[in-house]
Structure 1
């Protein structure tokens, strides 16, 4: 074939970058191993089950038996460099895929004939569709298939808004797929274990099925090719080059998703998949167009992943979009940070090979780009480039409180957490000043467990975990007036402050209000602000053990001493008055109520509503999810105390795809035994603090 990358033929498009994505345990890492073996990058395919795979090489991935971060490996196929990025399939690590795919030429979506995984497949395909990433669908595990391929296509099509285009049909023998017929080439292939398939004549009994399936494929292609449509109407056999041109065009323009199949575990169907990528996937020029990057200009790269290594320091895995970048170059990031490239490496799982420079299309690791993070762009020159594909991290759905077992490790913990958050933007750690708690939040229980394992394994910092504090508050129902007097004689100047305050409730959500009604200077003007400060301090922890809100404090009277009065004395007098007043005002506990939007497949609605009501939630209503066939949005109000592990239960009930967002809606009174239990628990925690 001949022509340009954007034209009818295929010209070498530079090094390729292909993401391997798909639902949890669909065989992505096994497919990567088969590709590496087929192309000679490894002598023998590793296995996930025994920890010998090039991908999933980290201790955490092997401990959990699945990917927890992108794994990168390169190979050469028919003279062309290809880099594959194996992305985690677990919903808790799907944000890693979203950071990788914008700079990829195309994606291989690995799936299987399992209707339970259809919702996860739909989420992945939707992400790729919205990002404009060309994609191949690889139906894995054909060796254990129980459905005919057309039944499988009907099963999978609802997960894709783009038509699925069948490129192959299986050759069956005794109910087992022993090979396939390529509908574009009109050739038959018989599988060989861990080797390229053998070309054979199309079996006589399959000729009719091949003709029918090929005509269906050509009809789909003709939707966007008038010349091909005329040829089909006139029963003219289209030239093979024209068919491949149409396949290439429809993939790149997002009109079709080519469907191939095989068995990653046996190495079946791998060569044809590689050839489809080589001939039909776009190259770096198409990525530049999609990201709005011109061909001309200074060298530019996009960071797909940040890694902190034990001995080599920080590595920024990036795709070079134009130009070349070499060791020693000074680069500037999209946020203005300048750095000097300290080495360029090609990664293959945990191994690396030093390179002299990175060319357009390469995916390499650049050393010590401080201040440049995942999702940033960087380039050679003095002006910061725009971030061409910044992806916002998802909102956290699961939180724990962490603390070091030894306080002397706190400094090391903070340094280690900074590195983990730079590697994984979906990991969020915040210090809660209200209670001194260090709160770690993320995408699920396993996500945070992996972070804790990395803290221990990589940085030698072991942390303890517990349930995070719930943001309980207390307020008052009643009103009272009290006097607070602080008098102390210590020799020389004493301490004297005397105030009369009125304490009363305010409407919910008002906060704190301080009113000065002093007349005649009984409390000198310079001390009134100290009275307010003392009153505010007293509200930090009320009688029930929680901060007090929605209170008005009015300073009505008092007295002072010309020598012994001071700011501190009046501040203390206000605290004494508040300590006496609050218990007299009928204190009441308030619990935070979250406004929650839950997205779920429609057929999981009954399970989702049961989860909400089982957590003292109030259902406000539900509606169809805009633009998502077969999905709904459930709106509810749920107490914060009930939401700790809700994501675990929700995912269990929705094949792993249920999700929610939550924001504080209001504070509601909590009384009776539930309130007593909260107060008792808070008291026990305070005694042991």
Structure 2
């Protein structure tokens, strides 16, 4: 890094393959929408020769093909992988969505990668380092993932590399701000008519050489005399930062003693610190001008990735167990080891069928072999556990619209696998004779409910299959068939996630659905004691119907359910018909007595009744029991009970006030707060579920994308009278 000046493009027109894990780098690009991730991926593909400005990838794809694919992926916001080659190293670039609704795709990218590039747009100034970006940085730090920062959009008028670097140091440096420092400084060209000075090149701080990109090709020159003081100051700071992270404890003493540390030693220490995740270099990048291949900073970035980022063999393999949950010895990234691979994404191709994007952690995956597919245990989200042996189809390397065939995928590599009909995102692929299950990665909890119904009878016939395929591709989505409200509910991460899912249903699976208001599972209960008499007497010639029963109903504490008590004396209601009365009461309770919601938490006491020796029957006393309960309800105060959720909101300290005020406006009760790490506060509250249907969207807006929350059912409790009256009125009007 900082020393190489020649370009080593990968071989275009063939699948990029690797023979050993040491020749692979898996790099995930992280950044919010508009930061320039996809543009950077294209620039790196051009610089390595994987794309050509002539308009064609050598094996039939074009730049426009690639753009179209990526733009479509950004609209449906899915993870995409682009393999390139540099200096004999295969680099799998994982381009992740920038929008918060698709954090599931981002987490899949983090799982498949061994290092991360945080892409920050200089066009947004210091605001480009958002709270959400800081949270992702902390998430990577928690798992020890090496990270570097790439500053984009330096060509914009308000871009200031120095200010943005200082912001990154403050945001990401933590206790050691000197661990976030630039390796290069931008070299600005002549001032234009608008007063803006474009970035023309980069100055390497370690090599003290200028890499000029103004001609469209990278050229090495010496710095001008007036640049030397700025270079010297930044260089000394960088050297001190590198030495502070060095494993050689004598290096600092030698440096402070005035010894000149040679550049080779500094680069080696820098690369080791980057690979360990203790030093985070800042670089700059820009797309190539029209007609050129090399974009500003692309060579420097590729040198960092190949020289500083760890190989898959240097990263721990996720823990594995047997199918029964029994622990297994830790695996290593060994192509000759036991097969352990993971599906990080699934998609459906109209011609090929289901395609699985797979990261191989151990062993070697080969075409046409049979593997064991192990489900991931997300039954609560509509993903049933499953185990199956399946023969895989062709292996290919993904790139734009092209699928380049691979002879094998070794440990550490990423490949597309065709024809795994049962595989879902998050599943484990292993050897049939020694099936394994990998520890799953953390899936975000979908908290936005979307109730749907088929648009037509034809759609209704295809809905079940379409939904099953949808959730198989996306484990961040939860499918619910609510038994209380009889609604089909898709739980999503946000509105954009919802829109993408519904569009996928329509365009990919041919199912048109309509969204309907989501209903919360309310309950009814008695607010006071009441009595009721059920009389069911009919005589229309022949066998008649005769049943009379008298009951008393009283409320019980929450969670008691329905209690039925028999206090009949003297055989007024024959013994064989008492269960019939109870059955009728419970059936009516399930239907509700006021607004059509189930009746709960009551004691029903059967006191008296009458029967006929010929005309009484089981059906007659069931009807009488239901009538008696309805009559008692007409004489009593009926409360509507609404579900209340326990809410745990984790939010940055500066947003605690607005969050608590917002919760109060939702009829919530804040029950406590406590300090959390990273300048955040955990707010615990109890809030009616009817008030938090869109809370995932509203909290994101309220906290500028930094807030998170979880919810769990607490209990049902009485709804305010005015709100209950409105719901009863809607029920009476058939709304």
2: distance between equivalents of 1:278 and 1:141? 24
Q: Is 1:35 matched with 2:44?
A: yes
Once residues 262 and 608 of structure 1 are traced to their aligned partners in structure 2, the CA distance between those partners, rounded to angstroms, is: 38
Q: Secondary structure at the match of 1:143?
A: coil
Q: Do the aligned partners of 2:529 and 2:636 also contact (CA within 8 Å) in 1?
A: yes
Change in 2 beyond 3 A, CA 1:387/1:527: farther
Q: How does 1:621-636 map to 2 (within 5 A)?
A: 621-624=672-675, 626-629=676-679, 631-636=680-685
Give the match for residue 14 of structure 2.
none
* Greater CA drift, 159-168 or 255-264: 159-168
Counterpart residue number, 1:4? none
1:284 aligns with 2:335: no
TM-score by length of 2: 0.85
Deviates more, 1:452-461 or 1:328-337: 328-337
Residue 274 (structure 1) aligned to one of 283, 297, 302: 302
- Cα displacement (A) at 1:645: 2.5
Alignment of 1:254 onto 2:254:
no
Task: Tell me which moved more, 553-562 or 414-423.
Answer: 553-562
CA pair 56-42 structure 1, distance change in 2 beyond 3 A:
same
Query: Which deviations, in whole Å up to 9, do the C-alpha atoms of 1:488-538 show, x marking residues without a partner?
Result: 457765444433221111123333222233445544444443333322221
Name 1:405's counterpart in structure 2: 455
Structure 1 stretch displaced more, 304-313 or 148-157: 148-157
**Cα offsets for 1:261-295 (capped at 9, x unmatched):** 12247522111101110111111212345664233
Equivalent position SS for 1:592 = strand
Q: Secondary structure at the match of 2:106?
A: helix
Work out whether 1:169 is the aligned partner of 2:185. Answer: yes
Question: Any residues of structure 2 matched to 1:648-687 within 5 Å, and which?
Answer: 648-686=697-735
8 Å CA contact retained: 2:670, 2:686: yes
CA 1:633–1:233 in 2, change beyond 3 Å: closer, same or farther? same
SS in 1 for 2:230: helix
In structure 2, C-alpha distance between the alignment counterparts of 1:558 and 1:648, rounded to whole Å? 56
Counterpart in the other structure of 1:8: none
Partner of 2:492: 442
Task: Name the counterpart of 1:351.
Answer: 402
Structure 1 Cα separation of the partners of residues 242 and 54 of structure 2? 36
Counterpart of 1:589 (choices 640, 645, 657) is 640
Deviates more, 1:257-266 or 1:300-309: 257-266
Selected match of 2:213 from 177, 188, 191 = 191
Question: Aligned ranges for residues 116-515 of structure 1 at < 5 Å?
Answer: 116=127, 117-144=129-156, 146=158, 148-160=160-172, 161=174, 163-173=179-189, 174=191, 175-192=197-214, 195-223=216-244, 224-225=246-247, 226-264=249-287, 267-289=295-317, 292-294=330-332, 295=334, 297-335=337-375, 336-388=387-439, 390-488=440-538, 494-515=544-565
Distance in 1 of aligned mates of 2:207 and 2:544: 100
The ranges of structure 1 where at least 4 consecutive aligned residues each deviate by more than 6 angstroms after the TM superposition are none
Per the alignment, in what secondary structure is the counterpart of residue 304 of structure 1? strand
C-alpha contact 1:344 1:366 (8 A) present in aligned 2: yes
CA contact (8 A) 2:649 2:682 kept: yes
Say how many residue pairs are matched.
667
- What per-residue deviation string (whole Å, max 9, x for no partner) do you get for residues 30-57 of structure 1? 11111111112122399xxx99472672
Corresponding position of 1:25 = 34
Which moved further from structure 2: 511-520 or 453-462?
511-520
Does residue 54 (structure 1) correspond to residue 78 (structure 2)? The answer is: no
SS in 2 for 1:416: helix
Q: 2:11 maps to what in 1?
A: none
Contact 2:285 2:297 in 1 (8 A): yes
Gaps of 5+ in 2: 2-19, 56-61, 192-196, 290-294, 320-329, 376-386
Deviation at 1:468, TM superposition (A): 0.2
Relative to structure 1, the CA distance from residue 21 to residue 583 in structure 2 (aligned partners, 3 Å threshold; closer, same or farther) is same
Q: Hey, what's the Cα distance between the residues in 2 that align with 1:45 and 1:636?
A: 59
In structure 1, what is the Cα distance between the partners aligned to 2:67 and 2:465? 27
Q: Secondary structure at the match of 2:315?
A: helix
Q: Cα RMSD over matched residues?
A: 2.7
**Does the 8 Å CA contact 2:21/2:411 hold for their aligned counterparts?**
no
Contact 1:56 1:68 in 2 (8 A): no
Unmatched runs of 5 consecutive residues or more in structure 1: 2-10
TM-superposed deviation, 1:662: 2.1
Give the alignment's TM-score, normalised by structure 1.
0.90
Cα distance in 2 for residues equivalent to 1:432 and 1:533: 24
Residue 597 of structure 2 aligns to a residue whose secondary structure is: coil
Tell me if structure 2 keeps the 8 A contact 1:27–1:264: no
